[in-house]
Structure formats: structure tokens, C-alpha cells
Amino acid sequence: AKKYFEKLNEDEIQKLIDTVLLGLPGSLEAYSLEQFRNALSEYNSIGDKELRNNLYGFIKEIIPVAEESGVRMAIHPDDPPFPLLGLPRIVSTINDIEKILGTIKSDANGITLCTGSFGAGHFNDCVEIAERFADKVNFVHLRNVWRNENGDFLEENHLEGDVDMYGVIKALLTEQKRRKESGRNDFRMPMRPDHGHLMIPDLNREGIYPGYSLFGRMRGLAELRGLELGITRSFDL
């Protein structure tokens, strides 16, 4: 990275800064470089161990309250599931999920199955995650990605890419049927088509938050609902 940076001219450096800052979550506005550095500095004394302990402590405090209130928590995985800018990642792998769910045994302590976040890591099999932790999935984000051998990834159409969307949805529908047959009133898993490509009128619109275009997501939703119907009918789910 240092060698790459040293070869950049001023315009290329500014382009790199914009690429990093304009893609950050949590704000509709771009961060300034100073704001970004200040935010990073808050983690100077927080490593992997400290961040995990903070999370586990939070879970132990919040889950009993969630149970009393009839709320089901659903922690979202790291996006992407590998370190960026030296920040620790603690919700990225099957091992991470097991530690989180083992902190306190409760239906209120669950996960968001985000296939885009988990799927960006070549070490994750989203079908395995869906099957293994099906009873703990409280929210579903369906998104697909394409990965290369260097670990880079791009967001793909919902039914294309390296995530086996058929296998994931089949596992979730199987779990949904189990919940229904067990008498749960909340057997349906909340789901959304996570992210979508720019297409049709959205191509010329300004102010669209990256990944959240109307037409791209509606296309994804239609495709996912069609896949869901086909699986449901084929396997009597």
C-alpha cells in the first residue's frame, strides 16, 4: 500500500481519499479527512479482545430486557468480513457467530443473515451458515457478490455471483416451516433484498445512497420472491 501511494500524483491522491470517504456508512454526507481520522482515533486503545468483551457485555445486559419486551435481536455481520484500516472484526466467521450466540442462550440473541457480508469472505459458506444457525436467524438480508482469487469482491445481481442463493433460501424456508409447525406466531423471517444495481431512471437521478436504488432493489425482490415460490412449491415448504 505504501509503494502504491508513493506513486500517486495529487489528483490521484484526492481520488483515493474520495473513494474511501464517500463510501462510508452512517451518514448521507461525506466525511472530511479530519472527521475520519478523529473517528479512527477512538479505536486506538481498542483491539480485538477489547471489542469482543464490550460486545459480549452488551449482549448480557440487553438480551434479558429484549426477552421481557418480546424483542428479538439480530446482530449484523461485519461488512466486509475482514479488517479494514486496522480496525478489528468480530462478527465475520462461523466461530464468531458461535461465540456471540454462546454468550447467553436465548431466542432473543440471534443474527442477521446477510449473505452479502458473509459471502464477501471466501472462507464463508452462506448455505452452511444458514443451515447451521437457522434457528437463530431473526432477520435476513439477501445480497450476492462475486469474488476473485485475490479476495476482492463486487456486488452481483441477486441470483448471480458466488453465493448459492437457492441453497440459502431453501434452508431458511425449511426453518420457517419448522417454526410454524412448532406453533410460533412469528414464524415468518423478515427479509429484504439487500442492495441493488443502478438501472432505468435511477441512472440519471442524483442523491441515491449507494446500494439503495429503487429499481435495482425491486428487481432483486421480484427475483427472490420467484425463487422462494419455486422452492416452496417444489418441496412443500
Contacts for 21 with CB less than 8 Å, ≥ 6 apart = 30, 31, 32, 33, 36
Amino acid identity for residue 201 in this structure: P
- What are the catalytic residues? 76, 114, 141, 194-195, 212
SS3 110: strand
* Beta strands at 191-193 and 137-142: parallel, antiparallel or unpaired: parallel
Residues 108 and 32: their CA atoms lie apart, in Å, by: 38
Asked whether 33 and 21 are in contact (CB, 8 A), the reply is yes
Backbone angles phi, psi at 142, to 5 degrees: -100, 115
Asked whether 211 and 199 are in contact (CB, 8 A), the reply is no
DSSP characters over 176-225:
HHHHHHTT-TT-SPPEEE--B---GGGGG-SSPPTTB-HHHHHHHHHHHH
160: cell is 448471480
For 206-215, b/e burial (b = at least 16 CB within 10 A) is eeeeebebeb
- CA separation (Å) from 127 to 61, 160, 172, 176? 31, 15, 9, 15
